[in-house]
A and B are shown apart, each in its own frame.
Chain A
Amino acid sequence: MGEYLIRRTLQSVVVLFLISVFTFGLIHAAPGGPTQIFLSPGLSVEAGQIKAEQLGLNDPLPQQYFRWLGNILTGDLGATFKNNIPVGDILWPTVKNSVILMSVTWILTLLIAIPWGVYNSTKEYGLSDQTASFISYVGFAMPTFWFGIILQSTISIKLDWLPLSDMYTIGKQGDIPDLLMHMVLPVSVLTLISLAGYQKYMRSSMLEVLQQDYIRTARAKGVKENKVVFRHAWRNALIPLITLIGLDLPMLVGGAALTEKVFNWPGMGSLFVDMAMAREYSVLMAITLLSAVFVVIGNLIADILYAAVDPRVQLGKGGK
């Protein structure tokens, strides 16, 4: 296990390095650099040159990359071109906000989707299963922002039950009940959307397991159906779901740009879109890198959980 972790970590470093090279190149290759945006067109050509020089934008790309890399290694994420605000000051609060929103959504989704999927697999095509299918279709088909707007105009504006947008009422920063009120609508939107996938996954995985020989054996032995489902089947059915959960982990920090925008949630998804528009290279690089780190970690966690749920999987030995 230990050896496995070390190997994986080393691999991850290489992966992260490649990702950073790739995105750095890609971001800089996009037409219309920051000089087009943060430099006001009112700036004379001469002043623009001075500014670009100050920011090191005239240096060859590899040199810019290694300067960036050197800074990152010392923990310096850089600052925005436009107003020289340290990237961390912008990034970390939004990461926190996204994590709050997404983790609540995620936990809620799993708490509903897993039991429901299990139940539906035992009562195929029953009322509950049909309802779940319906919600899945709706959840898959409906654009999140649209659903968000519908909720806003009905529940918030017409009925005035819940706040329209934002994380806190102004002046109530850090007030937990206020935060919870503000979370209801965006969490509902995001849960409905992701519920569909997890529930379907769980159900089909269960159905597959319930066909297995050992389940038939258990039933033949006269084991009670409840026990068959919950002791024998569901633990095995959970394995594919764990992969999914691991792969979805980066979503926790990545946030959900559209939903965040509609609900004016100051999260990272929304930040990324803004910064891409403004060609703020250092913020974009920091976000990309952070997301990449979480993808790597998510995969690692999925592997470890795999071993935890399924004793047949042994990390770092044999096949791998």
Chain B
Amino acid sequence: MAASSFKWKAMIASLSVMGVIAAGCGNNDNGTNTAGNTNTPATNTANEGAASPAPTAEPSGPVKGGTLTIGTFSDIVNTNPIYIADTSSGDAAYFMFSNLLDYDAGGNVVAEPWSLLEALPEISADGLTYTLKLKANAKWSDGQPVTADDIAFTFNTIKDPAAASPGISTFDKVDKIKVIDPQTAKITMKTVYAPFLNSLVTSVVPAHVMKDVPLAELQKSPYGIDPAKTVTNGPWKWTEWNQKQYLSFEKDANYWAKDVNDVNIDKIIYKIYADQNTNVQAIIKGDVDMVGAVPVTQVEAVKTKENLNVILEPGPLYEYMSFNFNKMNWGGKESPFTGEKTRQAIAYAINRQGVLDNILKGTGKALNAPFLPGTWADPGSDAVTYDYNVEKAKQLLAEDGWKDSNNDGTVDKDGFEFKFELQYNSGNSRREAVSAVIQQNLGDIGIGVTTKGIDFSSWIEQNITPGKYQAALQAWSLNSPDPDSESIFSSKYFPPNGQNSGWYKNETLDKLWVDGYSTTDQEKRKEIYKQVAQQISTNLPYVFLYQYGTPAVYNTRVKYEDAWKPVPALAYGSFFGVNKWWLEEKK
């Protein structure tokens, strides 16, 4: 799963970046935010995610009815679960589909009363077979039962390259899917792959609607594009898509799980704003009730409003500076990042706390290993922390043989002046600011950095995918809380076949990643990922910078009990619990 989740989320991240760029022309985020607010610089309540206003739980119980209007900045592409590859389509699917399994607030995979499966799958002793049992009463909106055929059809389609599904790598370790009876499916794996459980937090498509469509035509079929032809099985059904303007969803009177999941909200409007500033203005005015992603630069504008709750807790993304170890990027010479001490020196030299305080304004959290804080694999103090320490950085550089022998201000070794180019995608003002800090911090220890912003899609095509750069500011976004990250750190995944675009090779880690997913025993896995964290935070394929997120903002009329508050650290977490929320009258 993680293999795909990384790639997937890179896509999603790229889309949000696209959104930012697209909005960029109308949205100068350096101070034209004139939302009618006095911009009192809010006291930066530390970087703890809990720095958000208390949830709006109130003694008065849930009420039925009302319309929840959600502001977003990009339109859907296709809501067919086989083809979802962007955040907006995923959001839409979240309302209208039930999942086989769901996440609880702690990011654990569970079978909720409204999940399609009766219980967690039965995993055979050798870890190779998963037996999935569907709830007997699960039904599609056209009245047909949800069956094991639907599971088999969905997964087999995603697995087939001819269908060109973006989820294909999620299933590359699956051998076959067998229908045992209408309620039971059996999945056989090629190898033991523990993160696969996360792949079951997914919706399926109705085989009876789509089985006769040729695979190559599937993406073009109206299913997922035409609301009337999209048969669903979730609490809300899709009623309208007015392109580039809004989507609407209405409570499905025939929803199969309504006895156990009787949602309060009657109608959901998913409204698209072409410009982020306008989106923020709309939540200030009360035109929309929630915005899942408010740009950091606009947070101050909404914080001062009494009728708005801002959730600053960082999301499931982390940003890093990637080192490139391939000689081709250094004129055929050894990469200057080859020495472990050199990389550690760079980590010490970067003032992460300064970045968190001044650029992320409390929306980020330092991180030292590629596991999100708060999840079961969070290594805590087992990972090495690099606090800002210029002296230590200089000392480590010197120990690794770097010194300024010609007194030009830049350190050198064997005639190589330590200079490199740090790339980021232009239009991303956060990365631009961070790159300037890195440039200055590394300048202080004698490393010359030039920064370069490149148009996102050319950057991905010409630099990132083929691994042709010296250093880059990038982010990974995790749509699964599972810690497996083999596909981005293992030397099995060098370009062009993988995402290890910095050409990092560490045999100990290569093996640990495999160990990590080769057992389904969570306690054993935890031990292994602890070792991974120690190894990776010492050896540093990247400088891990911070976990961050785009703050979610809710109108105070959106009410929820504490157990069902949004969980930003999960994918689609800004809607977590939406099936339990209720709305107060508009003021």
A binding-site residues for B, Cβ under 8 Å? 31-33, 36-48, 50-51, 54, 82-85, 89-90, 93-94, 145-146, 149-150, 152-154, 156-158, 160, 163-167, 170, 173, 257-258, 260-264, 266, 270-271, 273-274, 277-279
Residues of A within 8 A of B161 (CB): 44, 46-47, 50
**CB < 8 Å neighbour of A273 from B22, B225, B459:** B22
Q: State the Cβ distance, A7 to closest chain B Cβ, in Å.
A: 40
Decide yes or no whether B128 CB sits under 8 A from chain A: no
CB-CB contacts below 8 Å: B153-197 with A: 161-170, 172
Decide yes or no whether B327 CB sits under 8 A from chain A: no
How far, in angstroms, from A260 to B271 measured CA to CA in the complex?
A: 16
> Are B34 and A40 within 8 A (Cβ)?
no
Interface contacts beyond A41-B7, A41-B8, A153-B36: sample of 20 additional A-B pairs, CB < 8 Å, sorted by A: A32-B455, A32-B458, A37-B18, A41-B10, A41-B465, A42-B11, A44-B168, A44-B169, A47-B164, A82-B78, A83-B78, A145-B26, A145-B275, A154-B36, A164-B282, A170-B69, A258-B25, A264-B272, A273-B25, A274-B244
Using an 8 Å CB-CB cutoff, how does the interface string of B430-473 with A read, 1 for contact, 0 for none? 00000000000000000000000001111111100100000000
Please give me the residue from chain B that is nearest to A160 by CB atom.
B285
**CB < 8 Å neighbour of B282 from A37, A46, A82, A165:** A165
Q: State the Cβ distance, A91 to closest chain B Cβ, in Å.
A: 11
Residues of A within 8 A of B216 (CB): 54
Residues of A within 8 A of B499 (CB): 41
Decide yes or no whether B538 CB sits under 8 A from chain A: no
From A33, A41, A273, residue with most partner B Cβ within 10 Å: A41
Residues of A within 8 A of B271 (CB): 170
Given A47-B164, A54-B216, A277-B18, verify A258-B78 contact (CB < 8 Å).
Answer: no
**CB < 8 Å neighbour of A165 from B170, B278, B465:** B278
Residues of B within 8 A of A166 (CB): 245
**CB < 8 Å neighbour of A31 from B21, B269, B458:** B458
Given A31-B462, A36-B457, A45-B497, verify A261-B275 contact (CB < 8 Å).
Answer: yes
Residues of A within 8 A of B85 (CB): 40, 42
> Are A261 and B220 within 8 A (Cβ)?
no
Interface size class of chain B, counting residues whose CB lies under 8 Å from the partner chain: 35 or more
From A38, A42, A82, A279, residue with most partner B Cβ within 10 Å: A42
> Are B274 and A264 within 8 A (Cβ)?
yes
How far, in angstroms, from A271 to B27 measured CA to CA in the complex?
A: 16
How far, in angstroms, from A44 to B274 measured CA to CA in the complex?
A: 31
Decide yes or no whether B4 CB sits under 8 A from chain A: yes
Residues of B within 8 A of A257 (CB): 25-26
Decide yes or no whether B353 CB sits under 8 A from chain A: no
Chain A interface mostly: helix
Please give me the residue from chain A that is nearest to B282 by CB atom.
A164
Residues of A within 8 A of B459 (CB): 32
Residues of B within 8 A of A36 (CB): 457, 460-461
- Give 19 CB contacts A-B under 8 Å: A32-B457, A36-B457, A38-B77, A40-B166, A41-B7, A41-B8, A42-B11, A42-B166, A43-B164, A45-B496, A48-B164, A50-B162, A153-B36, A153-B281, A164-B278, A165-B278, A166-B245, A264-B278, A273-B25
Decide yes or no whether B310 CB sits under 8 A from chain A: no
Using an 8 Å CB-CB cutoff, how does the interface string of B247-283 with A read, 1 for contact, 0 for none? 0100000000000000000000101111101100110
How far, in angstroms, from A170 to B246 measured CA to CA in the complex?
A: 8
Residues of A within 8 A of B60 (CB): none
> Are B4 and A42 within 8 A (Cβ)?
yes
Using an 8 Å CB-CB cutoff, how does the interface string of B391-425 with A read, 1 for contact, 0 for none? 00000000000000000000000000000000000
Please give me the residue from chain A that is nearest to B67 by CB atom.
A170
Residues of A within 8 A of B78 (CB): 82-83
> Are B166 and A83 within 8 A (Cβ)?
no
How far, in angstroms, from A163 to B285 measured CA to CA in the complex?
A: 9
**CB < 8 Å neighbour of A43 from B14, B166, B281, B456:** B166
